[in-house]
Structure 1
C-alpha cells in the first residue's frame, strides 16, 4: 500500500504547529531549521496545499493547515499511548472483544447473550451501544467483532456481513402490582382499560405488537414510548403503565423491577441475532457466543 504522504514529514509539521515557529520546533527536535522547513515543504508538496503562511515576522496555519493539525493531533495523541498499551498487553494478556449492541436490543437480553464469555477468565470486553446502521458501518470497517441486534443485517452485498440467529423468545405483558390489582376482565381484553408503555418504532418488535393489537381488537391507551428498554422498565416499575417484554427476562423483571406477568401474548416472538463480518479473522470469544447461544 502506497502512502499519500510521509508520516515523518507530518510529525515535523505537527511539532512546528504546536511550537508556533520553525526555530522552536528545530530546538525541540535538535535539528537544523533548514531541515525542518524542507520536511514541511515536502509534506505540502505531497498534499498539494500550503499549510503555513507568513504572519508578521513569523508564520501561522492556513485553513488547510488547521485541518491537517486536527488529524495530526489524533494520530500522534494515539501514538503516544502506544508504549503503554503494548506494555499493559504484555503484562496481563487478555482476550479482547469489541461488541456493538443495537439500541433496539433490550439491555437484559444483551447481558444474557454475552453470558457465554462473562464467566471466562482474562477477557477484555468493550461494548458500544448505537444505532443499527452506524454499528453496521463500524463492523464493515472492522471496528467491531460482533453486533448483537433484534434484527438481521440487510441484504446488501457491499457490507460483507452476515447474520446468525442466536435465540428467540415469546412475549408477555407485565406491570407493577398496582396495575395487576386494577385488571378488569380477562386477558388480553383488560389491556383496553390499562395505560400502555411501548418501545418506539426503532424496535423490530413494535410492528408485531401493533399487529397483535389489531388482531385482538385492542385500542391501546399509549401513555409512553421509549427507545431505551431499561428506561421503559424503570417507568413501568414506578407504576406508569403495563408493557410487553420477552419471557427470557421474566426472572430479572421480577427480581430487579418487582414487576409481575399479566398475560401471555400468543404467536408473537422476538428474535435476536449476531451480525458478523465475512472477512474478519474469527475471534474465539465470538465463536463462544455463537456456539452457546444459537438455537
Structure 2
C-alpha cells in the first residue's frame, strides 16, 4: 500500500518544481523530503523524478502519478474544507468532463441546473477528448460527461446517455465577406471558404452529407476541434463558420459577424453521459431532469 505521507511529499515537490521549494512550503529539510521520495520510489519499484542538470523533472511514470495525486489531494482538501465548515457552508463536489466538441457556452447552459440546487455544489470541469473522459467516468473520477454524441457502443461501461439539447445549425461570416457574396443561402456556400468542426465532432459528418446532397462544394480552409478558435478565425474573415442555432445571438454579439443562413436539416445534439454509481448525485439528477431545449 502507498505511504500517503511520502506520496504527499512527491506531489508537493512536483507542484513546486524542486525539492528546495517544496521543503520551504512543508517546513521540512530538503534531505527529509528527498529521502522520503527515495523510499517511496524504492517501495514502488519506479522512478518518479530524474536529474536534469542541477534540477529534477518528472519521469513519464511521475507525470502519470501526478494526475492521480492531483485528484487525491484536491479531494482530500475539499473533504477537509467540508468537515471544518458549518453545515450551511458545506459544498458537494461535482466533477464534470466536457468533450472539446461541446461549445463552452452550451456547456454552461446545460450545467446551470446543477448550480441552482439548494445543496451547495463545487463544480470541477475538465475538458478533453470523449474517449479519455469516458475512461475517467468509468473509474468514477468524473460524475458526468457532456458530449455531442451518446456513449459509443464499443465502450463496456454500464451507463446512460441522456439527450439534453437539440438544435439546428447556423452559418456566420465576417461583414466584409457578406458584402461580396450575393447568392442566396445555402448556395452562397458553393466555392466559398468554409471553416468546419474537426473530425471528432459528431456534426461534421452530418454537415458534409448535407452539403453533398445539395451538390454544394465549399473550399474547406480550416478544421477545428475547438469551436471558439474556429469562431475567432471566422471573425477575422478567413471563412464562413457554423455554430448551434440556439447561440446565434451570442455568436453575433461576441464576434461582430453576420448570420448568413440556417438549416434544421443538420442537427446538433448534446448528451449527458453518466454511470449507475453516480446517477443519484443531485447535480446529475438536476441536469438530466431539466426541461429539454430544442431550437
Measured against the shorter chain, the TM-score band is: 0.7 to 0.9
Q: Any residues of structure 2 matched to 1:241-252 within 5 Å, and which? A: 241-252=239-250
* Structure 1 residue 210, shift from structure 2 partner: 0.8
Q: Report the equivalent of 1:112.
A: 109
C-alpha distance in 2, partners of 1:225/1:9? 46
Q: Report the equivalent of 2:100.
A: 103
Q: Report the equivalent of 1:90.
A: 84
- Structure 1 unmatched ranges of 5 or more: 26-39, 52-66
Shift in alpha-carbon separation, 1:181–1:162, aligned structure 2, 3 A: same
Instruction: Give TM-score, length-normalised by structure 2.
Output: 0.73
Residue 153 (structure 1) aligned to one of 151, 154, 157: 151
Residue 19 (structure 1) aligned to one of 27, 32, 44: 32
Q: Report the equivalent of 1:226.
A: 224
Are 1:95 and 1:285, in contact at CA under 8 Å, matched by a contact in 2? no
* Structure 1 residue 285, shift from structure 2 partner: 1.0
C-alpha distance in 1, partners of 2:3/2:139? 22
C-alpha distance in 2, partners of 1:110/1:262? 25
Residue 261 (structure 1) aligned to one of 256, 259, 263: 259
* Structure 1 residue 95, shift from structure 2 partner: 2.8
* Structure 1 residue 85, shift from structure 2 partner: 4.5
Q: Report the equivalent of 1:35.
A: none
Are 1:196 and 1:224, in contact at CA under 8 Å, matched by a contact in 2? yes
* Structure 1 residue 194, shift from structure 2 partner: 2.5
C-alpha distance in 2, partners of 1:162/1:172? 29
Shift in alpha-carbon separation, 1:146–1:190, aligned structure 2, 3 A: same
* Structure 1 residue 147, shift from structure 2 partner: 0.4
Can you list the C-alpha shifts for 1:93-121, whole angstroms capped at 9, x where unaligned? 11321110001112221122112233457
Can you list the C-alpha shifts for 1:223-266, whole angstroms capped at 9, x where unaligned? 11111001111111122111121101101111211222111224
Q: Any residues of structure 2 matched to 1:59-78 within 5 Å, and which? A: none
Are 1:98 and 1:126, in contact at CA under 8 Å, matched by a contact in 2? yes
C-alpha distance in 1, partners of 2:34/2:256? 65
Shift in alpha-carbon separation, 1:97–1:190, aligned structure 2, 3 A: same
Are 1:196 and 1:242, in contact at CA under 8 Å, matched by a contact in 2? yes
SS in 1 for 2:189: helix
Q: Report the equivalent of 2:50.
A: none
- Structure 2 unmatched ranges of 5 or more: 11-27, 48-60
* Stretch moving more, 76-85 or 255-264: 76-85
C-alpha distance in 1, partners of 2:33/2:262? 69
Q: Report the equivalent of 1:240.
A: 238
Q: Any residues of structure 2 matched to 1:199-214 within 5 Å, and which? A: 199-214=197-212
Are 2:167 and 2:264, in contact at CA under 8 Å, matched by a contact in 1? no
Can you list the C-alpha shifts for 1:52-84, whole angstroms capped at 9, x where unaligned? xxxxxxxxxxxxxxx89x969x76995699478
* Stretch moving more, 94-103 or 126-135: 94-103
Instruction: Give TM-score, length-normalised by structure 1.
Output: 0.73
Are 1:184 and 1:193, in contact at CA under 8 Å, matched by a contact in 2? no
RMSD: 3.7
